[in-house]
Amino acid sequence: MSPFLQQLERAWEKNDSLVCVGLDPEIERFPAHIRDAPSPIFQFNRSIIDATAGLVCAYKPQFAHYAAYEAEDQLERTIEYIHRAHPGLPVILDAKRGDIGNTAERYAIEAFERYGADAVTVNPYLGGDSLEPFLRHAGRGVAVLCRTSNPGAVDLQDLEVGGRPLYQAVAELAARRWNSRGNCLLVVGATYPRELAQVRALVGDMPLLVPGIGAQGGDVEQVVASGCTAAGTGLIISSSRAILYASPGEDFAQAARAATAGLREKINAARRSRPT
């Protein structure tokens, strides 16, 4: 088993949680006392992380939310802080990279060396050789976009190729070719539980990163029923805004903790009531 999967399995077990908190800072939604502090994004993230670290299996910072604020340094500090203060919790850098040859190698350096991420999200449109520079970092995870949670996902991902939709062709490529080192994951949106079940059937126990719970409206029970492995794990269920901005006031971290605990318990209730 790849070191990333080992880390993930231990986090699933230790915290009894499939919840991943998406760290998508929107400074205008921060409480006033943090908004005006130095390094507000890092301060905000640190409070969220310390409040939720016992309840999650991973954190997922979204790159664009840092780049738009010219806050790459605060992204670096956030990841470094998670590793130092809460060792064992993997960090998935959600950057959805996709490029070729030596450029893909630069993106792998950026994600794994500069930022020290344990895993990164990537886009499959450019094909297997665009993923290889990431996958060859065998200790890290590589989460390939498969079926996303937005309405426009149908434009390409649902087009029929060889009798099944394109996203299933991607799932098959991941299972048969891209996962040769055991460090490949797939991204499948929570808003499409039927598609989630179809992907699970194609990829065995491969972990699935599932955004779209919470603000985007995905249903927890359907996600668990459709996506869990026989062991009752296999999912990294990510929620961002519903946790980060659960309260606009000074109690934001406690509110985030309560929202995380609530989602974790809802997921765990669904795991317990699965037909076995």
In the complex, the residues that contact its own copies under the rule CB under 8 A are 24, 26, 62, 64-65, 67-68, 70, 72, 96-104, 106-107, 109-110, 114, 123-131, 145, 148-157, 159-162, 166, 169-170, 173
Please indicate whether residue 14 is annotated as part of the active site.
no
Q: Do 23 and 62 meet the contact criterion of CB atoms below 8 Å apart?
A: yes
Specify the residue, 106 or 266, whose C-beta has the smaller distance to its own copies. 106
Specify the residue, 52 or 157, whose C-beta has the smaller distance to its own copies. 157
Half-sphere exposure of 36 (CA within 13 A, CB side): 2
CB of 173 to its own copies, least distance (A): 6
Candidates 14, 60, 96, 266; catalytic one: 96
Of 20, 178, 151, the C-alpha closest to 94 is 20
Which backbone phi and psi does 119 adopt, to 5 degrees? -155, 160
CB of 154 to its own copies, least distance (A): 7
CB of 214 to its own copies, least distance (A): 13
CB of 241 to its own copies, least distance (A): 9
Given the DSSP bridges, would you call strands 58-61 and 19-23 parallel, antiparallel or unpaired? parallel
Specify the residue, 51 or 199, whose C-beta has the smaller distance to its own copies. 199
Q: How far apart, in whole angstroms, are the C-alpha atoms of residue 85 and residue 82? A: 5
Specify the residue, 233 or 240, whose C-beta has the smaller distance to its own copies. 240
Burial state string for 64-87 with b = 16 or more CB within 10 A and e = fewer than 16: ebbeeeebeebbebbbebbbeebe
CA triple 97-184-18, angle to 5 deg: 100
Amino acid at 179: N
Residues with a known catalytic role: 96
